[in-house]
Amino acid sequence: MPSVVVPAPDLLARLVATLESSLVMYLADSGIGSYPGSAAVRQALADLVRDQRGVVGRATELLEDREIPLPRAAYPLSFTGLHDVDLRHLLPRITADLARQADACDTIARAAIGTDAAAATLAAAAAATTRQHAEQLSRPAA
């Protein structure tokens, strides 16, 4: 009798929580356009958020198909004090948060190998995309 591989639903939930509770998602939810800073930085952050929300959307669809409750993400209270800070000054904190996110996504992808192909694929894609955006944001503005 063949063995049945049961998906690890907590891995998709962890992926959603990792991406949704980030500093860039907070900035987007609080209105990136209202932050002081260059339009290029705002656009780069908006592009990052768009890509991450795409991954979150696919992951939440899978969770819903599997009838697994969606995780509720929350932002750290410390983010609320950042609203008037110029985005250029937030970039080191943003890129550090993105590095942490990418590492967490890699961990999720490795844990999902052999148990949940969809979670492994989404987490690996999220890690790669997050690293690409972090590299772009760490380049000095022209």
CATH number, domain with residue 116: 1.20.1260
pLDDT of residue 88: 87
User: Containing domain of residue 21, as a range?
Assistant: 9-68+84-138
Dihedral of CA 12/13/14/18: which sign?
positive
User: CA-to-CA distance for 141 and 56, rounded, in angstroms?
Assistant: 29
Asked if residue 102 belongs to a domain, the reply is yes
User: CA-to-CA distance for 14 and 70, rounded, in angstroms?
Assistant: 10
Who has greater pLDDT, 104 or 36? 104
The answer to whether residue 125 scores a pLDDT higher than 60 is: yes
* % of the chain surpassing 90 pLDDT: 61
Report H helices in the chain.
9-20, 23-29, 39-65, 87-112, 117-138
Asked if residue 30 belongs to a domain, the reply is yes
Asked if residue 23 belongs to a domain, the reply is yes
Asked if residue 98 belongs to a domain, the reply is yes
Asked if residue 2 belongs to a domain, the reply is no
Asked if residue 1 belongs to a domain, the reply is no
Q: Per-residue pLDDT tens for 2-42?
A: 433 444 558 999 999 999 999 999 999 988 777 788 888 88
Q: In total, how many domains does the chain have?
A: 1
